[in-house]
Chain A
Amino acid sequence: MLLSFCSWRKIVIDIYLLLQIVQPALHVLINLVCPPPSISNKPSVTAQGQQSASAGMDVRDRNVDRIISDRPLLANQGDGAVAPTATSSLSQAATSGLVGDRRISLGVGAGCAGLAAQLEQGYRLAREAVRANNGIKVLLHLLQPRIYSSPSSLDCLRALACRVLLGLARDDTIAQILTKLQVNFLSSFLSVFKF
């Protein structure tokens, strides 16, 4: 009986050690698929207004070059096939409050013109690679309720998995997959029942 208890205790310790592996792995995935918040979050309305007031038209044109969008926003999709113009993309950056945002903005006077496009291309490749290697399944598996670890470490892992999923959801196809899988329902279920 004592021997059995010791062996089971060793298994539990091993699980705890394995969870220490999952966390840095998720951090790596976050770096691969999520742009840093400083360049992907929407600029505040006041900051945007100050920029447009102080900067001239040529500066604005340069800023447009550095803001790229891999797809039109969902709000525009309902309006029909209206391609977003350069000036409308600036206003959309201020109004959309999606996951970070779907565009990378390096700001005025930062980087060269194609740098944002290059960054977005890198993130797109990473998203495709993660999806091709069953990444969505792995991440959704991490969201499932488990009982073999402490609730705090589980919450940490779930938060990291959600962050990777949010980075993946910047892609149209993956966003639709996650919508069909009703991940939002699962996350609200977890938060209500505190698994």
Chain B
Amino acid sequence: MERYLHDLLQYALGVLHIITLVPNSRKMIVNATLSNDRLGIAVILDAANIASSFVDPEVNKFILSSTVLLAPSCC
């Protein structure tokens, strides 16, 4: 389920990437408001900030201390 949502988010942002090439739809996206009263641009910024909110100091500590890291393609 988590992977599905991740793919969904990635594809949705890909569609937005294409749509924002058109000036009129660009304005609509800037002015859009979601059903939970959040601005569309705030959601996009949240997506850009998602990695920093995920990583906590423990992860950094682990990566610093670990000597072996497997590439994600190997998994």
Contacts and interface: CB of A to CB of B under 8 A. Distances in A.
Given A9-B75, A118-B23, A119-B23, A15 B51 contact: yes
B64 to A, nearest CB: 7
Given A9-B70, A22-B50, A129-B30, A148 B55 contact: yes
B49 A138 contact: yes
B66 interface: yes
Contacts of B60: 147-148
B42 A133 contact: yes
A26 interface: yes
Contacts of B30: 32, 122, 125-126, 129
A21 B72 contact: no
Contact of B59 (A11, A26, A139): A11
Nearest to A138: B49
B45 A32 contact: no
B48 A18 contact: no
Nearest to B48: A25
Contacts of A21: 6, 9-10, 13, 47, 50-51
B17 A31 contact: yes
Contacts of B9: 21
Given A24-B10, A32-B20, A32-B41, A13 B75 contact: yes
Interface string A1-43: 0000000110111111111111011111101100000000000
Interface in A91-111: none
B41 A126 contact: yes
Interface of A: 8-9, 11-22, 24-29, 31-32, 118-119, 122, 125-126, 129-130, 133-135, 138-139, 141-142, 146-148
Closest 7 pairs between A and B when the two form their complex, measured CB to CB: A24-B13, A31-B20, A25-B47, A25-B48, A133-B42, A129-B41, A138-B49
Given A15-B54, A15-B55, A25-B50, 12 more contacts: A8-B59, A22-B47, A24-B47, A28-B13, A31-B17, A31-B20, A32-B41, A130-B45, A133-B42, A141-B49, A142-B48, A148-B63
